[in-house]
Structure 1
Amino acid sequence: MDEGASISDDPGMRNWGGELGFADVRTLGGRAGHTLLTAEIAVADSMWGPLAPWEKSAARAFAVGLTMDSAVICGKSAARLIGIEMPGWEDTVEVTYPGNRKPGGRRYWPEGVRFRYRNLDAGSIREHHGIRVTDSHRTVRDIAVLHSLADGVVALDSARRKWPKWSLGQWEAGMFRGPRFKGMATVRKMLELSVPDSGSPQESLARVRLIVARLPGVESIRTQVRFEAGGRSFPVDLLLNGWLALEFDGELKYEEGAFGRTTRETLLREREREVLLLNLGLQIRRVRAEDLHLDEAGWCPMFGIVLDALRGREEMHRQALG
C-alpha cells in the first residue's frame, strides 16, 4: 500500500436504497404509509420504523446522495455511509461541492441538507452505489475541522478499528495530502491523541474529554487493559490511575437476544465479571452516553463520576492511616 492511498476504496458501503426499497415519490399513488427522505425519495414506514436512529442518519444521507447532480456527501454523513462509527446521530446531511465551488445561500439548500465549503480535490472523492462520498482520510479530517477535536478523535479511532492494518503514518499522509488548509493544528492534535485499540465511540469520546479537561488527580489513562481473574481474562474500557475502571455500556448490549444471550444471562455475566474485578482491588464506574454531554461551561457528568471516585479513594486512605 502506498502512503496516503485511500482506505475507502474498500467497497464496503451499504446499499441503503436497495436494502430499504427506496421509491420515487412520483411513482407512488399516494404518500400514505411512506416517509419522505428527500423531495424525490420515499421509503415505506414498515422498513423505516424499525431502524435505529443512526441507521436512519445513514439512509437519509444515502438518499440525499442519490439526488445530488455534482455534490459530494462529506463530514459525519460520509462517516455514516463508509462505516466510521460516531456517537449519536444527525438529522442534517452534510454535503460539499468538488473543487473550489462555493455553495449558494441557505435559502437554496434542500430541506435537511447543509452545504459545506471544503475545497475538495477529485482524488478525495469515491463513488459507491451511485453515491459520491469523501474518502476515509478526508472524511476524518473534515470531521475534526468542521466539528471538534473530540469528534475527530472519535472518528479516527473508529477508522483505525475498522481498518487495523493501516498505520498512523498512513493516516497522517492521507490527511495532509495536497495544499495547506485551515485547521491543520487540530488535525495534528487529533493524530496525537488517537489510539488503535479504542473499543467504542463512547470510550474514545470519554478519553479525549478527560485528556482535554485535565481533571485534578487523574494521572494516567489507559485503554482496553486486561486483567486475569478466576481463570478468565477481562478487559476494561478505560483504566484511570491503575485502579479506576470506566465502563461504557450501550443499550443494545442488554437487549434480549444480543450476542445470542438473554438479558438475564448478560446481566449475570456482567455481575460475575464485576465481582472478580472488584476482588482485584479495582473500582468500577459505569458511564452512559448522556454522561458525556458537555454543558455550556464545558462540564459533563462523567467528570463528577471520576472526581467522586478519586475523593472516595483519598478518604479511604486517610481513614486507614488514622
Structure 2
Amino acid sequence: MTDLPPLLLSRDRNLHGLSANDLAKRVRSGAMVRVRHGIYIDGPAWRAMKPWEQYRVRIQAAAEAFEKPTVFARHSAASVWEIPTIGFHHPVQALTLKNDGGRSRAGVSRHFAARADLKVIRLEGLLVTDRIRTVLDLAAFSPFAEAVVPLDHVLRPDPRRQLPAITKAELESGMGSVYSAAATRRIRAAIEFADPASGSAGESWSRALIHAARFEPPVLQQRFSDADGLVGYSDFHWKESRVVGEFDGEEKYLKSEFLKGLTASQAVVAEKQRENRIRALGCNVVRWDWADLKVPGTLERKLAAAGVGRRRTRSAVIDAQNRL
C-alpha cells in the first residue's frame, strides 16, 4: 500500500510542541482528524484518501493504541495484505485466544481463534493472519458473492508483493478442523467457484452475482478478432446468447497499467471503438460499473434485458437417454 500519512499520538504531543487544547482546536478547524481516542491524522490527507485507505489507517491506529500484541484478521488482515474485499464500513477485526464468544471493545471486533493451526505473520509492522487463513475466514463469515473476491485474488500471483498464487488444494488443506460444518460448506462452495481468470475485484463480484442470479456461466477473457486483427478480450462472453459483458472499474480509465500510454480521454475513445467492432461481429454488449453492483438487482436486470440466458433447472435437462 502507498505509504500511510503519519499518525500523531496524543501521548507524543509534547514532542511536537502541542497541548491538548491545540489538538482540540485543530480538530475543530478540520486541520486534523481524530481517527480514534488519542490518535490523530492530518485532515486534508485524510479527506483525500479512498475509503479503503482510511480503513487501513484505522487498523494502524488500533495497533498503535493497544499495549498487548494484537493479531488482525478477516477484513483487517486482508487490508494489510492488500487482498481486495467488498464494502467500506467493516469494523477493525482482530483475534482473541479466549473462547468467550468474542467481544468488541474500543471500535475493534474480536473473534475467537484456537492456537492450533494459527499462523501469524508480521507484515508492515503488524501481526496478521497468513494469506490462507485470511481468505478462508472471509469465505466462512461473508456472503458468497463477497467471499469469491478475495479467493479469486489469491489464486493469482501477486507481483506487487512478489507472492506466488495459492492453489485450491492449499486452500482446502488450510481448512483443517478450524471451522464448523456449516462454515466448511460455505468455504468449499466459494473455493469451487473461485477462478483466477477474473481480472479484478469488480469482475469477481460481478461473476458471483451472475451465478447467484442463475444466469448461464460466462466465458472469461474471451478473445475476439475481426478482419483487421485482434479486437481484444472481453470480461464476460455468453456465446449461446451472443452477449458480451464489460465491467467498467475506474482503474480502466485512470491507472497507468490499464491506460497503456493513453490519456483517459483516448482510452474512452479506444474502448468505444473496441465495443463497436465487437458489435459488428454480431454480439450485444452490456456494460456496468461499481454503482450497478451496489444496488441489488441492477446487474440482473441489465443482463436479462441484454438477452443473457438463465441456467436450466434440473427438471428441464434432457439427454439422449432420457427424452420427453
Q: TM-score range by the shorter chain?
A: 0.7 to 0.9
The residue correspondences of 1:1-322 to structure 2 (distance < 5 A) are: 14=1, 16=3, 19-28=4-13, 29=18, 30-31=22-23, 32=26, 33-68=31-66, 69-98=68-97, 100=99, 102-104=101-103, 106=104, 109-111=105-107, 113-119=108-114, 121=116, 123-161=118-156, 162=158, 163=163, 165-174=165-174, 176-182=175-181, 183-214=183-214, 218-229=215-226, 230-242=228-240, 243-255=242-254, 259=259, 260-293=261-294, 295=296, 300-310=297-307
| CA deviation profile, 1:196-229 (whole Å, cap 9, x unmatched) | 1111111111111121221xxx333221112123
> Which secondary structure does the structure 2 equivalent of 1:188 belong to?
helix
- Asked which structure has the greater RCO (Cα within 8 Å, sep 6+), the reply is 1
> 2:304 is aligned with what amino acid?
L
> Matches of 1:283 and 1:119 in 2, distance apart?
52
- Aligned in 2, Cα 1:48/1:228: closer, same or farther, shift over 3 Å? same
- Aligned in 2, Cα 1:103/1:256: closer, same or farther, shift over 3 Å? closer
**Are the aligned partners of 1:125 and 1:135 in contact in 2 as well (CA < 8 Å)?**
yes
> 1:261 is aligned with what amino acid?
L
* TM-score, length basis structure 1: 0.79
- Aligned in 2, Cα 1:45/1:225: closer, same or farther, shift over 3 Å? same
> Matches of 1:26 and 1:202 in 2, distance apart?
41
- Aligned in 2, Cα 1:84/1:186: closer, same or farther, shift over 3 Å? same
- Aligned in 2, Cα 1:211/1:54: closer, same or farther, shift over 3 Å? same
Residue 23 of structure 1: how far off its partner (Å): 1.7
Unpaired runs of at least 5, structure 1: 1-13, 313-322
> Matches of 2:231 and 2:291 in 1, distance apart?
29
> Matches of 2:197 and 2:114 in 1, distance apart?
32
> Which secondary structure does the structure 1 equivalent of 2:109 belong to?
strand
> 1:282 is aligned with what amino acid?
C
**Are the aligned partners of 1:144 and 1:150 in contact in 2 as well (CA < 8 Å)?**
no
| CA deviation profile, 1:134-173 (whole Å, cap 9, x unmatched) | 1111111111222212221111001223355432212222
Q: CA RMSD in A?
A: 2.5
Residue 99 of structure 1: how far off its partner (Å): 6.0
**Are the aligned partners of 2:97 and 2:115 in contact in 1 as well (CA < 8 Å)?**
yes
* TM-score, length basis structure 2: 0.79
**Are the aligned partners of 2:75 and 2:90 in contact in 1 as well (CA < 8 Å)?**
no
Residue 195 of structure 1: how far off its partner (Å): 0.5
> Which secondary structure does the structure 2 equivalent of 1:49 belong to?
helix
Q: Identity of counterpart residues, as a percentage?
A: 25
- Higher CA-based Rg: 2
**Are the aligned partners of 2:154 and 2:166 in contact in 1 as well (CA < 8 Å)?**
no
- Aligned in 2, Cα 1:130/1:199: closer, same or farther, shift over 3 Å? same
> 1:56 is aligned with what amino acid?
Q
Residue 121 of structure 1: how far off its partner (Å): 4.1
> Which secondary structure does the structure 1 equivalent of 2:307 belong to?
helix
> Matches of 1:251 and 1:219 in 2, distance apart?
27
> 2:216 is aligned with what amino acid?
E
| CA deviation profile, 1:57-83 (whole Å, cap 9, x unmatched) | 122222223333233211112111101
> Which secondary structure does the structure 1 equivalent of 2:48 belong to?
coil
**Are the aligned partners of 2:95 and 2:110 in contact in 1 as well (CA < 8 Å)?**
yes
